[in-house]
Structure 1
Amino acid sequence: MQQVKKGDTVKVHYHGKLTDGTTFDSSEGREPLEFEVGSGMVIQGFDNGVLGLTAGEKRTVHIPVDQAYGPKRDDLFMEFPLDRFPADLTPEKGMVLNMSNGEGQQMPVVITDVREDVVVLDANPPLAGQDLVFDIELVEIKGGSPLIIMP
């Protein structure tokens, strides 16, 4: 049977959990996730976790922080002046907002603290600093991109 190798395009069903068992994402009720193995489309630990699987095979993969979203970075915490928030918005700890980075790209941020004149925002990915566990089922191996050899 064909086993997954780097460069293959695969379809998988998955159930993502934190180490305490809390579910953060699942493909249940949706189409399988399709990606090219080794292309950087998914986190490194997930990429590595499908290598060697055959169609229909299931595996549980434990992914450490450094192969997931990395540790929380202090440089991604920022203070934002309270008076720059819209008048109709009352910032609260835990609130998720979308900010623009000045180049038109949107990024989610979480309010971690509301002080007298500033709001502390966390722009780290929501799963940064977490070890992750994925139950993965390989649905299909579609094969890699065709290799073209020129003379």
Structure 2
Amino acid sequence: MTVSITPSSEVLMHFDLKLSDGSAADSTRVNNKPAKLQMGDGSLTANFEQCLLGLKEGDKKSFTLNADEAFGMPNPDNIHHMDKSRFTADTPVDVGTIIAFSQPDGSEVPGIVREVAGDSVTVDFNHPLAGQTVIFDVEILGVS
């Protein structure tokens, strides 16, 4: 009997995440390392998990998620202006550079340098795919 994915399943799958223009955003196939996830652990958004419910081993499916269903819309509160002196010589402050910033709890959050003007550096902490419609192609390899 094949097992369907439930809200408590452990899932082994390959996925490809593409933007609506067809460009690749992420894929487990690049290094041929399938993703293993525990449903409900927060590694996928609720909308992505909803897409997987009911699928079985061997299923291949494609889902298109609008920005508000995928990574959300960019939040202006997640854009911060920082003094250039906060960056060390080891950290290039070039537009497009992604830098990991330490949080008070010790975790790290990535920020993308959007602008450098004089001593001010604009860093965007929105998810890089915020505001994008994404196509989520999955191949379920195992369900337990």
TM-score (norm 1): 0.84
Q: 1:120 to 1:8 in 2, by over 3 A?
A: same
In structure 2, what residue type is equivalent to 1:78?
H
Moved more, 10-19 or 33-42: 33-42
**1:87 offset after TM fit, Å?**
4.3
Question: Counterpart in 2 of 1:70?
Answer: 72
Q: Is the 8 A contact 1:44 1:68 kept in 2?
A: no
Matched with 1:21 is 22
Which runs of no fewer than 5 residues in structure 1 stay unpaired? 143-151
**8 Å contact from structure 1 (residues 7, 39) kept in 2:** no
Offset, 1:39: 3.7
Are residues 1:7 and 2:12 paired? no
The alignment status of 1:139 with 2:141, answered yes or no, reads yes
Show CA shifts across 1:32-55 (max 9, x none): 212222343212232111112121
Match of 1:85 in 2: 87
Cα distance in 2 for partners of 1:98, 1:13 equals 27
Q: Secondary structure at the match of 2:68?
A: helix
Change (3 A) 1:102 1:2: closer
Counterpart in 2 of 1:116? 118
Letter in 2 for 1:9: E
Query: Quick one: which of 47, 53, 56 aligns to 1:54?
Result: 56
Q: How big is the shift at 1:141?
A: 1.1
Between the aligned partners of 1:38 and 1:26, the Cα distance in structure 2 is 21
CA contact (8 A) 1:57 1:138 kept: yes
Tell me the alpha carbon deviations over residues 13-60 of structure 1, each in whole angstroms, 9 at most, x when there is no partner: 111101111101111133321222234321223211111212111100
Structure 2 counterpart of 1:146: none
Residue of structure 2 equivalent to 1:149 = none
Displacement of 1:7 in angstroms is 1.3
Q: For residue 147 of structure 1, what is the aligned residue in structure 2?
A: none
Q: Which runs of 5+ in 2 are unaligned?
A: none
Q: Distance in 1 between matches of 2:91 and 2:100?
A: 13
- Note the alpha carbon deviations across 1:92-118, whole angstroms, 9 max, x for none: 211111212233222111111111221
Q: Structure 1 segments of 4 or more deviating over 3 A?
A: 87-90
Indicate the larger mover: 38-47 or 54-63: 38-47
- Length, aligned pairs only: 142
**Structure having the higher Rg:** 1
**Percent of pairs with identical residues:** 30
